[in-house]
Structure formats: structure tokens, C-alpha cells
Amino acid sequence: MSKKRLFKLLIAVALVTAIALTVQEAFATTSIMPHGKATNGVKAQECASLPYRHSLHTEIVEETGTRLTYTEDGPTGIDGGLINLLSNYRMCSR
């Protein structure tokens, strides 16, 4: 096989791979989009039940010597934690 033909073959394989990955990502994006639109009706109720965003603060727990995050409703490390709370704030800001 000549070098020109091998080079053209490698270019064609790279192009087909790039197209396949692009199509795969496009299908993955379209499968995610309807999921977010389906929860719009529930979002208003969930967002209204969240504690005030500026009530997030840290306190030092004397017994353990660690810092815990608290809201006006209590510690955020119980039942879901701070990461869940912050992701809910992010969903509500859209």
C-alpha cells in the first residue's frame, strides 16, 4: 500500500470516528433535554420549600472540633446534605 493511500485511509478513519462521536453526543443531549422539561411543574413547589439562600453558614461543633454547615432549618448534613441543597438552588435559578 502506498504512503498516499495509507494517509488518505487514516484521514477517512479519523473523520468517520469524529462524526460518530458527534452523533453520539447529539443523541445523548436530546435524551437529557426532555427529562429537565418534565419537572418544570414540580420545580415551583420544590423551590418554594427551600430555606433562604443567605441563611447558609458554618458553625464549629465543640465536641468534634469540626465545622458543619447550617441553614435556618438546622444542619445541612442530614438527609441529603449541602451538595444536594446547592444543586437544588442551581435548578431553581434556571
Domain residue spans in the chain?
Answer: 1-38, 41-94
Residue 38: what pLDDT? 46
Using the structure block, give the residue that is written with the C-alpha cell 444543586.
87
- pLDDT (tens digit per residue) in 27-72: 877 766 554 554 555 566 677 777 777 777 888 888 888 887 777 7
SS3 of residue 74 by DSSP: strand
The pTM of this model reads 0.39
Residue 93: what pLDDT? 63
Report which secondary-structure segment, H or E, holds 66. strand 66-71
Residue 27: what pLDDT? 82
Overall average pLDDT of the 9-22 stretch: 95
